[in-house]
A and B are shown apart, each in its own frame.
Chain A
Amino acid sequence: METVKTVSERSVTVVPAPRKKRKWTVDHWLAAAFLTPSVVLIFIFVYGFIGWTGYVSLSNWNSLVPDLSFAGLKNYIYLFHDFRFQADLRNTLVFTILFIGVVIVLGQLLAILLDQKLRGESIFRNIFFFPMALSFVVTGVVWQWLLNPSTGVNLFLKKFGLDSKWYTDTTILGGFHLGNIEFGVPVAIVAVVIAAVWQMTGFAVAMYLAGLRAIPEEVREAARMDGATELQIYRKIIIPLLRPITVSVIIIMAHISLKIFDLIYAMTGPGANFVTDVPGVYMFETTFRGNYYANGAAIAMIMLLSVAIFIVPYLISSRKGGS
C-alpha cells in the first residue's frame, strides 16, 4: 500500500502543468532569507527556552549551584501544598473572573453609549482609551496612592462615613477552608481589579465599538420594521452579534490577568497574608531572592499551562474558521 501511495504522489507532483509548480522567484528567496534568522531565533529563544524551563522545573536546582539531576514532580508537589501558592491560585482565579467580567460589561455598555452618534464622540473615545497608553507600573503606583487607606480617596469617603481598608484588608469574603487556605473572594483584590479595569476597559470599548460599527444598519431597520423596541434590538440582535468580539476580549484579557506581575508588584506587593499575591510575583521572589530556581521554573510552567488553556482552543478554532 505504502509504495503505491508514494508512486501516485510522485506522479501527481510531476504531471501537472509547470504554472502550478511555481518556481522560486527572487522575491521568494528574499523572503526566506529575511525570515530564516527570525524563525531560527524564535525556535531557540522561545520554544527552546520553554523546553529548558520545563526541564529545570523537573530538576533539583534549588540553590546557587546548578543541580540538574532529575527530581520528578517534586517541585510541583511542593507548590501545590504551599500556602502561598494555593493563595496565588485563588487570587488569580478571583482576579481573572472579576476583571474580565467587569471589563466585558463596562466595555460593552460604554461602547453602546458611544455608538449613539453623540457629538464629541472622539473625545470620549480618547478619554477611555488613554489609560491604555500607560504602563502597568505607572497605573500601579498611582492607584496605590489613590487607594491608600490613610491618605487616598478615603479622606474624601470618610466624610460619607465610608472607611474602606482597600488593599490592606485581609478579610476573605465567603471564605471556607480548602487545603491550607481560606478560599473565597479576598477583599483586597478588589482594589487591584479597579486599577486593572481602569486601564484595560478602553481597549474593550474600542473593540466593541468596531464590532458595533460592523453591524449593518439594515439589520436594525429590519428589526424596527418588524416592530422591535430599541431595547429588544440590543438584547436580541446587537449583543448576540457581538459575541465573537467578547470571545476575543476574553482571550486577550485572560492572558493579561493570568500572567499579571507588574501591576501587583508596583501597587500592593504580595500583601498581608498573601491576599494580593499572584504566581508571577511568587515566581520572581522565589527564583531571585530565594534562589529556588526549580520551584520558580515550575511556577512558570504552571502559568504557561494556564494561559495555554485559553489560547490553544482559540488558535485551533480561528484556524478552522480561517481556512
Chain B
Amino acid sequence: MKKKGLWLSLALVFGFTLSGCNSDSASNNGQKEDQSASKGHEKLEIFSWWTGAGEEDGLKALLKLFQEKYPDIPVENAAVAGGAGTNAKAVLASRMQGNDPPATFQVHGGAELNEGWVAAGKMEPLNDLYEKEGWMDKFPKSLIDMVSKDGKIYSVPVNIHRGNVLWYNKKIFAENGLEPPKTFDEFFQVAEKLKAKGITPLALGDKEPWTATHIFETVLLGTLGTEDYKKLWTGELSFDDPKVKEAVNTFKKMLNYVNEDHSSRNWQDAAQLVGKGEAAMNIMGDWVKGYFVNDLKLKVNEDFGYVPTPNTEGKFMVITDTFGLPKGVKNPDDVKKFLAVLGSVEGQDTFNPLKGSIPARIDADLSKYDEYGKQTIQDFKTAELAPSLAHGSAAPEGFVTKVNQAVNIFVTQKDTKTFIDTLVSASAELKK
C-alpha cells in the first residue's frame, strides 16, 4: 500500500508539471501564428548565442537596420544565452533534428558548418545570392572557401576575429626593458627574465580547457606554417609527424611559465591578470580587446599592446561567425533578404564596431573601427588565413572535444607521448 501511494503521488506531480509545460508552449505557438498571420509574412527567427555586452548591441543594431529596410517582415531575436554557445548549440541540434529549423542561425565557418550541418544535408546552397549581390569578389576567396563544400557556398560571414594574438602589459614590458617576442626563442628569453623578477610571464585560465587548446593551436601554426597546419585537419599530415612533436614540446615548455591557479580561472580572469599588471602576457583571440576596453577601461597601445603570437607574423587564425539558410524554412526569400543585409557593407559596419570584431568584407569603411581594428583589417587582407581548431573551424566538433580533453590531461601530466597517441587515434575521425 505504502508503495502504491508513493507511485500515485509521483504520477500526480509529474502529471501537473507536464500539463503545465504543455499549456505554456501551446499559448506561445498561438501567439506566434497570430502575429505572423496578421502581417502576411512568417516571422524571421534569428538564432544566435550573442547575449554578451557588445555582441548583443551589435545584433540589435543589425536587426534594427533590417527592420528599417523591410518594415513588413517581422524579425525575432531568438538568442540563447550560455558561454561559447553550448546551450544554443544543444537547442539548435534538437530543433534541426525535429525539422523545425530557425530562419537562420549563427555557425562558425569551416568544419562546424561544412562537416556538421552541410554534411547532414540540412543547408541550402547560396550561390545565387552571392552572384545576385555581387559578393564573389567582396569577400576574400579563402574565406568563401571556408563556407563552401564541393563548390557550393552555404553561409554568409558577418565578422572576423583573430585568434593568434599575444597581448602584453605595456608597463611591465617598459619597466623591464623588454620587447614583445616575435619568435619562440624570444618568447622564452622574455619569459625567463620575467620569471626571474617574480612576474608571471604567461596568463592562462583553463577552467574551460579550450583556452589551453587555443594556445596549442597558435603554437602548431607557428611551428608548422599555414600549409602544413591545414594539412593536419584533412588527414594529409599525421599527428605523429616530428614537427607536431616539436610543437607539443614547445607548448609544454610554455606551460612552465603560466600562473599556478590557471585551472580556477576562465579566459576573462586570465586576461584580467595582464590588464591589472599581475602577469605579463596572454595568448587569446581578439575578443580580449573588447574585454580590456569595455570592461576594464584600458586603452589600446597605452595600457596594453598586441603582437601576433610567436612565429605567426603574416598568418591569421580566423574565427568567423556566419549565417546560412536551413532546409525546410517556410520563407526562404525573406531569409535571403536578411542575409543580404547581413552581407552588405552597411550591415557589417553596423554590427562589427559594436561587437569588437572586424568585417568579413574587404571594402568596409575603415573610419568606423579603432586603432586595433584598422590594423587587423589590413593584416586580414594580406595574411595567410588559417582555420581555428579550438573554435570549430578546422575540424568537426567531435574531434575538437577530444582534443580539448587530451589537452586538459596534458597540461597536468605533460606526457608528450600519451598526448600525441591520443591525437593520432582521435584523428581517425578526420579521414572520413
**0 or 1 for each of A287-302: is its CB under 8 Å from B? (1 = yes):** 1111110000000000
Given contact pairs A288-B93, A289-B89, A35 touches B8 in the complex (Cβ within 8 A): yes
**0 or 1 for each of B233-268: is its CB under 8 Å from A? (1 = yes):** 000000000000000000000000000111110000
Q: Is the interface of B mostly helix, strand, loop or mixed?
A: helix
B120 at the interface (CB under 8 A from A): yes
Given contact pairs A148-B261, A322-B2, A288 touches B409 in the complex (Cβ within 8 A): no
Please name the residue on chain A nearest to B89 by beta carbon: A288
Set B93, B207, B263: member contacting A64, Cβ < 8 A: B93
Set A64, A272, A287, A323: member contacting B206, Cβ < 8 A: A272
Given contact pairs A168-B261, A288-B93, A322 touches B1 in the complex (Cβ within 8 A): yes
Beta-carbon contact of A35 and B12 below 8 Å = yes
A313–B405 Cα distance when bound, in Å, is 36
Beta-carbon contact of B86 and A150 below 8 Å = no
**0 or 1 for each of B384-413: is its CB under 8 Å from A? (1 = yes):** 000000000000111011100100110111
Beta-carbon contact of A290 and B397 below 8 Å = yes
A266–B404 Cα distance when bound, in Å, is 19
A318 at the interface (CB under 8 A from B): yes
A274–B409 Cα distance when bound, in Å, is 7
Beta-carbon contact of B11 and A39 below 8 Å = yes
Given contact pairs A42-B11, A64-B120, A290-B397, A269 touches B208 in the complex (Cβ within 8 A): yes
B27 at the interface (CB under 8 A from A): no
CB distance from B264 to the nearest CB of A (A): 5
State which size class the interface on B falls in.
Answer: 35 or more
CB distance from B26 to the nearest CB of A (A): 15
Given contact pairs A83-B409, A148-B261, A318-B2, A291 touches B14 in the complex (Cβ within 8 A): no
A62 at the interface (CB under 8 A from B): yes
B136 at the interface (CB under 8 A from A): no
Q: CB-CB < 8 A to A66: which residues of B? A: 97
Given contact pairs A37-B15, A41-B14, A274 touches B408 in the complex (Cβ within 8 A): yes
State which size class the interface on A falls in.
Answer: 35 or more
Beta-carbon contact of A289 and B397 below 8 Å = yes
Please name the residue on chain A nearest to B209 by beta carbon: A270
Set A34, A38, A65, A290: member contacting B119, Cβ < 8 A: A65
Q: CB-CB < 8 A to B411: which residues of A? A: 272-273
B173 at the interface (CB under 8 A from A): no
A144–B12 Cα distance when bound, in Å, is 37
B196 at the interface (CB under 8 A from A): no
A150–B262 Cα distance when bound, in Å, is 10
Beta-carbon contact of A286 and B3 below 8 Å = no
CB distance from A123 to the nearest CB of B (A): 32
Across the A-B interface, how many residue pairs have beta carbons closer than 8 Å? 119
Beta-carbon contact of B409 and A286 below 8 Å = no
A117 at the interface (CB under 8 A from B): no
Q: CB-CB < 8 A to B398: which residues of A? A: 62-63, 290-292
Q: CB-CB < 8 A to B121: which residues of A? A: 65
**0 or 1 for each of A29-65: is its CB under 8 Å from B? (1 = yes):** 0000011011101100110000000000000001111
Q: CB-CB < 8 A to A268: which residues of B? A: 207, 264
Given contact pairs A38-B12, A62-B398, A322-B2, A84 touches B264 in the complex (Cβ within 8 A): no
Beta-carbon contact of A291 and B3 below 8 Å = no
A155 at the interface (CB under 8 A from B): no
A319 at the interface (CB under 8 A from B): yes
Q: CB-CB < 8 A to A184: which residues of B? A: none
Given contact pairs A288-B93, A322-B2, A168 touches B401 in the complex (Cβ within 8 A): no
A39–B18 Cα distance when bound, in Å, is 11
Beta-carbon contact of A38 and B402 below 8 Å = no
A62–B89 Cα distance when bound, in Å, is 16
**0 or 1 for each of B3-21: is its CB under 8 Å from A? (1 = yes):** 1000010111011101100
Beta-carbon contact of A168 and B12 below 8 Å = no
A312–B398 Cα distance when bound, in Å, is 36
Q: CB-CB < 8 A to A65: which residues of B? A: 119-121
Q: CB-CB < 8 A to A35: which residues of B? A: 8, 11-12, 15
A271 at the interface (CB under 8 A from B): yes
- Beyond the given A64-B96, A167-B264, A292-B401, could you list 17 further A-B residue pairs with CB under 8 A, ordered by the A residue number? A38-B15, A42-B15, A46-B14, A62-B398, A63-B396, A65-B120, A83-B409, A149-B261, A167-B263, A273-B408, A274-B405, A288-B89, A288-B90, A289-B401, A291-B396, A318-B3, A319-B2
A positions within 8 Å CB-CB of B: 34-35, 37-39, 41-42, 45-46, 62-66, 83-84, 144, 148-150, 165-168, 170, 268-274, 285-292, 315, 318-319, 322-323
Pick 12 A–B contacts, CB within 8 A, sort by A. A38-B18, A64-B117, A149-B264, A168-B260, A168-B262, A273-B408, A288-B86, A288-B89, A290-B397, A290-B398, A292-B401, A318-B2
B positions within 8 Å CB-CB of A: 1-3, 8, 10-12, 14-16, 18-19, 86, 89-90, 93, 96-97, 116-117, 119-121, 206-209, 260-264, 396-398, 400-402, 405, 408-409, 411-413
